[in-house]
Structure 1
């Protein structure tokens, strides 16, 4: 059972890394973080299309990652 949870944790970690790398950047580097950071934070701009799907997948994979990590500790 321990090996199963470790395998699922590794698969989830690789999938999470892949999904995060597929997401588009929110700013144009350091200058975008300084000048446009507040605009993006407080703006009415919502994620749409593929960005929304990738965001939701990231949330689900993150929750699964923590659940698998806790399961690995509990089964050990």
Structure 2
């Protein structure tokens, strides 16, 4: 049972790394802070429907699963 949990945890860890590496960088940085940065475009209004939002949701879900597997693995001793 413990070996199976370790295998699942390793697979989830690799998936988290892959999803994070696929996400685009935040290019605004300090220049967006100085100039205001918020522009009302079609993209900014529909940001929840983009592939970037899907990648963020996937990262959160995988992270929660990873944390749950770590807790379960520590409880089984």
TM range (shorter): 0.7 to 0.9
What residue is the counterpart of 2:13 in the other structure?
Answer: 13
Q: How many residues align?
A: 70
Which residues in structure 2 correspond to 1:1-76 (within 5 Å)?
1-27=1-27, 32-37=28-33, 39=37, 45=44, 46-76=47-77
Q: Which runs of 5+ in 1 are unaligned?
A: none
TM-score (norm 2): 0.75
TM-score (norm 1): 0.76
RMSD after superposition? 2.1
Larger Rg: 2
Distance 1:69 1:22 in 2: 24
Displacement, 1:15? 0.1
The answer to which structure, 1 or 2, has the higher relative contact order (CA under 8 A, 6+ apart) is: 1
